[in-house]
A and B are shown apart, each in its own frame.
Chain A
Amino acid sequence: MIMRKLIRSLFVLVFFVTGAMAQQRTITGTVTGKDDGAPIPGGSVRVKGTENGTFTKANGTYSLNVPPEATTLQFTYVGYVSESRVIGSGNINVSMTAISEGLNEVVVTGYSTQKQRDLTGAVSVISGKTIESLPVQTFDKAMQGRAAGVQVTTNSGQPGSGISVRIRGVNTINGSLQPLYIVDGVQISAGGLSTATTQNVLGTINPADIESIQVLKDAATASIYGSQAANGVVIVTTKRGKEGRTAIRASFQKGINQHMNPYEILNSNEYYALRREAAVNRALRTGVSVASLIANLNNSAFGSAADPVNLPSVNWYNEVFRNAPFSTYDLSFSGGNEKTKFFISGTYNDYDGVAKQSDYKKGGVRANLEHKVSEKFSIESNLNLSYARSTGYSPTPGFYINTPFTGALYIPPYNTVYMPDGSYRSGADLRGAQLNIVQSLMEELRSTKSFQTVSNLALNYKVLPELSLRAFAGLDFADAKNYNYRPSSIPAYASTGGSGSESFIRNINYNTSITANYTKTFNTDHNFSALGGFEFRSNEQTNLGASAQGFPSPLFKLISQAAVPLTTTSTYTGFKIASLIGSVKYDYKGKYLFSGNVRYDGSSRFGANYKFGWFGGASAGWRLSSEDFLKSAEWLSDLKLRASYGVVGTQPINDFQSMTLYSSPGSSGAYNGDATIRQSQIGNPLLTWEQTAQTGLGVDFAFFKNRVYGSIDIYQKRTSKLLLNRVLPGNSGFSSVFENAGKLNGKGLDFEITTVNLDMDNGFRWSTTFNIALTKNKVVEVNSGADRNGTNTIVGQPSDALWTFKYAGVNPADGRPMYYDKNNNITYNPVANDKGNGDDRIIGFNNPTSYGGFGNTFSYKGLTLDVLFQYQYGNSSYLQSAQLLEASGDGANNQVKSQLQRWTTPGQLTSVPRPYDNFFEPGGANPANMSSRYIQKASYIRLKQVTLNYKLPVSLTSKIGVPGISVFVQGLNLATITNYRGEDPENTGNNLNAYPNPKTFAAGLTFDL
């Protein structure tokens, strides 16, 4: 998008100048955009130096009476370079050039703004235009692959689910990894609202309402947010009204989601063959009669000892998925006059998930208002309210029988879903499995319904022309109702008469600040600004819930209708932060730039002995291209060197972690009806923030009249006072306590470049954008002088090591699984020891060493094709689902096709051990236990997005009174290149009970009028 605008500036302006006539007369003409020739409605046309003016109509035309003395007309439109035309005899048609956003765009860097060209830190900017039409439920998802150094992983394909965003790698072991989100000045902690499934708090922000997203990556810039900024800061600014005619935009989109890559599992005959082989192998090994074990197997599987004939076969995995439609509707109005501006929008989204009975429905409204009360006093308010309803499944990794992703794998394929009479197969009819997952999906109710608002009010007062004061208050409020109902019609819950639970979560998170901003230019060359202020943030969460069982029938679904009340919950947690903020910026002729931030943060999460701390940073820039010795270099459009250093923090993970506390575990912790209290945690008054110091160097460059531009950044991070678990002797009654100790170093490189490859006279344009982040970290020191902390944090190694046994394949002689012992000899029974002297070892690392994106945009007249690839490289990931799926048929659960390669005959070379009923061969380990067999490199390249947009010719559309009509089709997650055996290499957790990301196809329409 930046490129498209940029290209406008690459055209040479054409002037039509004729002689002036000294008479009152009417001038008419059309104002169009240079790049696409589309009319610009609402553009301002006025006689230069006067108030005499008008706005262009929907089709871009205008008509203006000008007095005789007028000489020049001025054309202005937000986002475009203003144009002046000398008034001649004829009509004046103007083709306006969009402002090259890359450099002049205003960037929010905390409590003040800055032009992007003046930045001295590392800030990535994503324009709202690039994401406004994407069928994503939350904007964080849309950042994927679009900003260097910003890694976005969607851990769940549940629509509206939580996303994990990591900026410049991992610099903590136990602290939060998520950046601080700031939406129009309101600080939001990323997270979820759902206890039933997963629902992202950022869902309240409609991606179509976003003007721009800025990612503060370097510590000097981010340090204005002090102890919350160690993972970077994502600043989201929503759209504002523009002076002029009211612009209306309506868009809708429909599409379908599909399972990207479902497991291929065995049919009944294949499955039975493995199971039978497993029973035979067991019988032969233990000396029990083969016939009796086969009889046992047959009986438990089919209710008779005889071998089965004509087995039905059902692919249960396919039974739980579907093609899921979705639709989105967006409508917005924006406009205003000199005094008042508005942006008002509404949205409705309806997404079905690819797993049955999972969906996300969201509706929201927004009103962003600005008003100038007087020359000195102005007010701004952004108001938003959204409602979201999610139904779906628990995203917690685990071998669950009641979620579709593992539950379907547990059911032997010879069970049909339904009985001949149409009822669900269950109970004794469901052989070899506990729960009919399809019945469970269809009949169990799980939902989260939430209302949320992220709204604010700001008052600005100009005390002096240079000095302004701003009072700001912002609220992030959410109420979420979670509901779970397990009816007695599902046999597993029949004995208790069905069970239900309801809970309300209320989040009240607000921040308020008072800031004073002083800006002055001295002697025309010295630009100086300073900001000081105070900020307070409070975040409270309460949860109120109850559960009950014994419902009269599945038709009664509220817990008040149940016979037996079970549990009650009511919890309260919260934190408060009070801070002083200071910031200065100075530049000399835009050539030498300097910026400094400081913040003094106090937090309730810090221990009694460390309540307050200083954070801050400084950065400087040198615009080489403005120096005389480079001014003559025509090929150089811009060149700027940057350097920064800053210190930021990560707060302790839990709100009251530093205190010794007694708590009551409630009714489930009572004894014989009497209440209980117990010491629930052991305090550490020394607990405080993790501290990350980051040094960065960068270059911004633009060549050949901005046809090639980009930036390179290198950085080094030093995190100290890591929040680490100190393991306590279990015999103390406590398992661990958090303390600040240890060091973690990180370093990396971010590179982004955009090139305009082709820009032909006939309007064909091709531009490419590429970004890559290289990142690496190393644990330098952990607490107690140990060489590791827990299993995964090992001194001298990158963080998040995957530590387990190394699989040595199958013994060709007898089909048993082999492992390497610590001396790299073969063993059948590896021994674990997390002190490092067992047979287990580092198999890989969880974090990628590089990631990024690669996009191409082709445009010709109204036709635009966007193609975006996104990739990550170097990380290993668990395949925990494979512990079920790749187990040679040792257990009753189904297998993937690869297990047909199991060992059968001496001398056979295969990696799949021989089937052995119930896993444990005497003297051997469980072959389905975790080992390197179930860990794999999860590098991938994904065709993330293809969008083909066609803007209908204005000549056509203006006839029906709608000047802008665009039609688009797009696809997401269309293809993936990877060796990873799991369904989705993006599910980087442990690939267990993971909701795979869908493949999405969509088509939509956008109207601008």
Chain B
Amino acid sequence: MKKKFIIYSLSFGLFLGSCEKMVKIEPQNAISPNVALTTIGGYEGLMNSAYNRLIDFSYYGRDFTMLGDVLADNVYTELSVSNNRWVGQNSNVRGAHYDIWSIAYSAINDVNTVINTIDANIKDANAALRVKTLKAEAYALRAMLYFDLARVYGYEPTSVTAGGGFNLSVPLRLKYTAGLPEAEQIPRGTITDVYASIESDLNIAIPLFPAGAGLSKDRFRMNKGAAYALLGRTLLYEGKWAAAVTQFDNAMNTTNTTARLIATGGYVSGFKTTPNPESFFEVVINPNTQLGGVIGSNDALYSYTHPTGYNGFKTFGGQTVSDELYALFEVNDDRFKMMFKYGGTSPTPPLFNWADKYSGATGPYADNFKVIRFADVLLMKAEALAELGQYTDAATLVTQLRTNRNATITGIPTDATIKNYIQTERRRELFFEGQRWFDLKRRANGVTKPAKTAIGTISASDYRLLAGIPTSEVALGLIQNPNY
């Protein structure tokens, strides 16, 4: 009997001894940071994560690429067929706006992690070039992310006066969030601070990129040409016209990019080519894995911009070309060939104006998103020149573009009125690419809505020009934008 007792107590004791180990279990879907970031592959993955976040439907995957037209004057949301998509945005209802905060900052945390830790963790000399390039991409992408945040949630240096001098931009977070202690709130930076940081990031990135124009597939990632173009755009938003011209020239320099202005007759097909020959930077979306199933027809821009039944696809289409935009085109303009007329669900009248810019070029419902492209840069350079009073030089660029688009080149002004002409040309060239809202906003022109919306004009001082700061951030101490 005693023996048994001893055996029982012994085995019991053994169980107790191993208690601590018994409740250890390693997750398999995820790994801890000190393992994840020990290889260059880890950093490649982290950088891919940042690019992947651009695909989010609240960002370049949909809203950022198109909402600029809906909030402004290029789109009329046809109520009878829109399935309530973007109805509020098209009427500029309070709060119906961009919402890129969390996705942009998640991507910023990815690139911050690369910028902050890659040098310390990757010492392998063989990986030195990759480290340098990844850092360049990370800095350039961070600049882009902050630039987008800054223009959604704050005024531009050129429009801050019209906005009543409200000079707050977004929190400038340049350190990655390693753990809870780093997740503290930081206040909103000023517009000056944030734009300075964007310039600085791009100026760090540009020399880090490898020399030469690279391959066309490099345009699916941040690259030297795109960084120059972005820097030019930043300077333009700051009203630094001469500096902007220099950077636009750098961007278009064939030693820095393979992006080229599309020749006559190629506008429509350019949008079905990957990458678009004009793209400095284009976000790739995989139609199989990233637009699968319900999401494809639910949220894709194809779905938003095509009537149901057109091409036999089911859509949530209601984003039609506004009558005002439609009226801007000459019939022979290549860009007008994007337009088509179709009913809400069938070819029968009443017909609406639609645009085929997102045609499902890479698969059902799938199109790549152009972050910045050649014609945009060309017109921004023209704009900067015009602001410098170099009207003739500006007109030359506009002429170059219009020639390549099969549009007439008579009547292009060579005086101060070219400033407005360039904006209209931007509208014709860049419609449905999300630029219109920011063009109107940064130039403090107010937004004259399509007549069918019955809204009239939203003034340059209207609070709705800024998106509201997420309420959760306000609850944690951030200053809210006026009137929200």
Does B452 touch A at the CB level, under 8 Å?
A: yes
Given A304-B348, A671-B48, A729:B289 Cβ within 8 A:
no
Q: Which of B323-331, B371-379, B465-473 contacts A (4 or more CB under 8 A)?
A: B465-473
Q: How far is the CA of A435 from the CA of B113 in the complex (A)?
A: 45
A735 touches B102 (CB 8 A): yes
- Residues from chain A with a CB closer than 8 A to the CB of B66 are none
Asked whether A527 is an interface residue with its Cβ less than 8 Å from the other chain, the reply is: no
A299 touches B23 (CB 8 A): no
Taking a contact as CB atoms under 8 Å apart, the answer to whether A295 and B470 are in contact is: no
Which A residues are in CB contact (< 8 Å) with B108? 731, 733
The answer to whether B79 touches A917 (Cβ under 8 A) is yes
Say which residue of A297, A304, A679 sits within 8 Å of B113 (CB atoms): A679
Most buried by B among A427, A671, A735, A833: A671
Q: Are A662 and B286 in contact (CB under 8 A)?
A: no
Question: Is A299's CB under 8 angstroms from B343's CB?
Answer: yes
Contact A303 B348 (CB under 8 A): yes
Given known A-B contacts A463-B4, A576-B23, A732-B177, A677 and B42 have beta carbons under 8 A apart: yes
B30-38, B199-207, B232-240 - interface stretch: B30-38
User: Does A420 lie at the interface of the complex (its beta carbon under 8 Å from any beta carbon of B)?
Assistant: no
A576→B22 contact, CB < 8 A: yes
Say whether A255 faces chain B, with CB atoms less than 8 Å apart: no
Verify A496–B296 contact, CB threshold 8 A. yes
Which listed segment binds B: A38-46, A209-217, A652-660? A652-660
Q: Is B88 an interface residue (CB 8 A)?
A: yes
* Interchain CA distance A918-B79 in the complex, whole Å: 7
Q: Tell me the complex Cα distance, A562–B217, Å.
A: 29
Is residue B227 contacting chain A, with contact meaning CB distance below 8 A? no
Known: A304-B348, A495-B313. A676 touches B105 (CB 8 A): no
Residue of A nearest to B21 (CB): A578
Q: Is the CB of A611 within 8 A of B79?
A: no
Tell me if A677 and B36 are in contact (CB < 8 A). Answer: yes
- State whether A576 and B24 are in contact (beta carbons under 8 Å apart), knowing that A677-B46, A737-B183, A918-B79 are contacts in the complex: yes
A669: chain B residues at CB < 8 Å are: 49, 52
Contact with A along B162-185 (1 / 0, CB 8 A): 000000001101001111101111
Instruction: Tell me how far the C-beta of A340 lies from the nearest C-beta in chain B, rounded to whole angstroms.
Output: 25
Cross-chain contact A834 with B36 (CB below 8 angstroms): no
Q: Is B33's CB under 8 angstroms from A660's CB?
A: yes
Q: How far is the CB of A941 from chain B (nearest CB, A)?
A: 39
In Å, the complex CA distance between A676 and B45 comes to 4
Contact with A along B1-35 (1 / 0, CB 8 A): 10011001001100110011011110111111101
Q: A305-B350, A677-B42, A834-B471 are in contact. Are A602 and B23 (CB under 8 A)?
A: yes
Docked pose: A926 CA to B80 CA in angstroms: 16
Residues in B with CB closer than 8 Å to A536 are 15, 22
* Residues in B neighbouring A834, C-beta threshold 8 A: 471, 475
- Identify the interface centre among A576, A682, A733, A919: most chain B CB within 10 Å of its CB: A733
Interface hub of A492, A662, A663 (most chain B Cβ within 10 A): A662
Residues of B within 8 A of A305 (CB): 349-350
| A530–chain B nearest beta-carbon distance, Å | 15
Q: How far is the CB of B142 from chain A (nearest CB, A)?
A: 12
Please name all residues of chain A whose beta carbon is closer than 8 Å to the beta carbon of B292 when the two chains form the complex: 496, 499, 547, 549, 566-567, 668
Decide: A678 and B349 in contact? CB cutoff 8 A.
no
What sequence of 0s and 1s flags, for each residue 133-171 of chain B, a beta carbon within 8 Å of any chain A beta carbon?
000000000000000000000000000000000000011
When distances are taken between beta carbons in the complex, the residues of chain B under 8 Å from A681 are 30
List the B side residues contacting A670 at CB < 8 Å: 48, 52, 286, 289
- Residue B364 lies at the interface, judged by CB distance under 8 Å to chain A: yes
> B110 contacts which of A534, A549, A678, A729 (Cβ < 8 Å)?
A678
* Interchain CA distance A683-B177 in the complex, whole Å: 11
**B308:A428 contact, CB within 8 angstroms:** yes
Cβ of A434 to closest chain B Cβ, rounded Å = 6
Q: How many Å from the CB of A347 to the closest CB on chain B?
A: 35
B416 at the interface (CB under 8 A from A): no
User: In whole angstroms, what is the CA distance A675 to B46 when docked?
Assistant: 9
- B223 on interface, CB distance cutoff 8 Å: no
- Contact present for A288 and B452 (CB under 8 Å): yes
CA distance A431 to B309 in the complex (A): 12
Answer whether residue B98 sits at the interface, using C-beta atoms and an 8 A cutoff.
Answer: no
In the complex, the chain B residue whose C-beta lies closest to that of A516 is B8
Q: How far is the CA of A576 from the CA of B23 in the complex (A)?
A: 5
Q: From residue B194, how far is it (CB to closest CB) to chain A in Å?
A: 12
Report yes or no: A602 in contact with B348, Cβ–Cβ below 8 A.
Answer: no
Closest CB of chain A to B214's CB: distance in Å? 15
Roughly how many angstroms separate A730 CA and B220 CA in the complex, as a whole number? 27
B475 touches A835 (CB 8 A): yes
| Residue B420 interfacial (CB < 8 Å) | no
A796 CB-CB contact with B under 8 Å: no
Given known pairs A434-B83, A604-B23, A668-B289, the reply for A299 and B348 (CB within 8 Å) is: yes
Give B413-433 as 1s and 0s: 1 = Cβ < 8 Å from A's Cβ atoms.
Answer: 000000000000000000000
Known: A496-B296, A603-B23, A732-B105. A682 touches B173 (CB 8 A): no
Q: Which of B81, B186, B345 has the most CB of A within 10 A?
A: B345
How many residues of B are in contact with the other chain, CB < 8 A? 102
Q: Across the interface, name the chain A residue whose C-beta is closest to B472.
A: A727
- A578 in contact with B23 (CB, 8 Å): yes
Q: Is A674 an interface position by the 8 A CB rule?
A: yes
What residues of chain A lie closer than 8 Å to B180, measured between beta carbons?
A: 682-684, 737
- Smallest CB separation, A495 vs chain B (Å): 5
A491 within 8 A of B: yes
Say yes or no: A491-B289 contact (C-beta < 8 A), given A671-B52, A732-B183: no
Q: Which of B4, B29, B177 contacts A573 (CB 8 A)?
A: B29
Q: In this assembly, does A82 line the interface, its C-beta being within 8 Å of a C-beta of chain B?
A: no
Is A780 interfacial (CB-CB < 8 Å)? no
In angstroms, Cα B78 to Cα A946, docked, is 55
**In the complex, per-residue mask of B277-313: 1 if CB is within 8 Å of any chain A CB, else 0:** 0000000101011101100110000000000110011
**Which residues of chain B are within 8 angstroms of A514 by Cβ–Cβ distance?**
11-12, 15
In chain A, what residue has the closest Cβ to B293?
A499
Docked complex: A218-251 residues within 8 A CB-CB of B: none
Q: What is the distance, in angstroms, from B103's C-beta to the closest C-beta of chain A? A: 10
Does A584 sit within 8 A of B, measured CB to CB? Answer: no
The reply to whether B80 and A300 form a contact with Cβ atoms under 8 Å apart is yes
Q: Are A676 and B48 in contact (CB under 8 A)?
A: yes
A580 to B12, CA, bound (A): 10
Selected from B178, B454, B476, the residue in CB contact (under 8 A) with A287 is: B454
Q: Which of A299, A427, A833, A919 contacts B344 (CB 8 A)?
A: A299
Within 8 Å of chain B (Cβ to Cβ): is A571? yes
CA distance A667 to B286 in the complex (A): 9
Is B393 interfacial (CB-CB < 8 Å)?
Answer: no
Do the beta carbons of B32 and A682 come within 8 Å of each other? no
Quick one: closest A residue to B51, CB to CB? A671
A731 to B289, CA, bound (A): 28
Interface positions of A from 24 to 70, Cβ below 8 Å from B: none
B106 within 8 Å of A by Cβ? yes
Residues of A within 8 A of B195 (CB): none
Tell me if B44 is interfacial: C-beta within 8 Å of chain A: yes
Interchain CA distance A494-B112 in the complex, whole Å: 43
The answer to whether A668 and B290 touch across the interface, beta carbons within 8 angstroms, is yes
Contact B345 A300 (CB under 8 A): yes
A673 at the interface (CB under 8 A from B): yes
Task: Please name 15 pairs of A and B residues whose Cβ atoms are closer than 8 Å in the assembled complex, sorted by A.
Answer: A428-B309, A431-B345, A496-B292, A602-B23, A656-B27, A660-B179, A665-B49, A669-B52, A677-B46, A729-B186, A730-B472, A731-B185, A732-B173, A919-B84, A926-B88
Closest 6 CB pairs of A and B: A733-B109, A677-B45, A663-B30, A661-B30, A662-B36, A286-B454
- New A-B pairs, 5, CB < 8 Å, besides A296-B344, A299-B348: A463-B5, A499-B292, A602-B20, A611-B23, A675-B45
Residues of A within 8 A of B (CB): 282, 286-288, 292, 295-297, 299-300, 303-305, 427-428, 431, 434-435, 463-464, 469, 486, 491-492, 494-496, 499, 514, 516, 534, 536, 547, 549, 564-567, 571-578, 580, 602-604, 611-612, 655-656, 659-665, 667-684, 727-735, 737, 829, 833-835, 891, 917-920, 922, 926
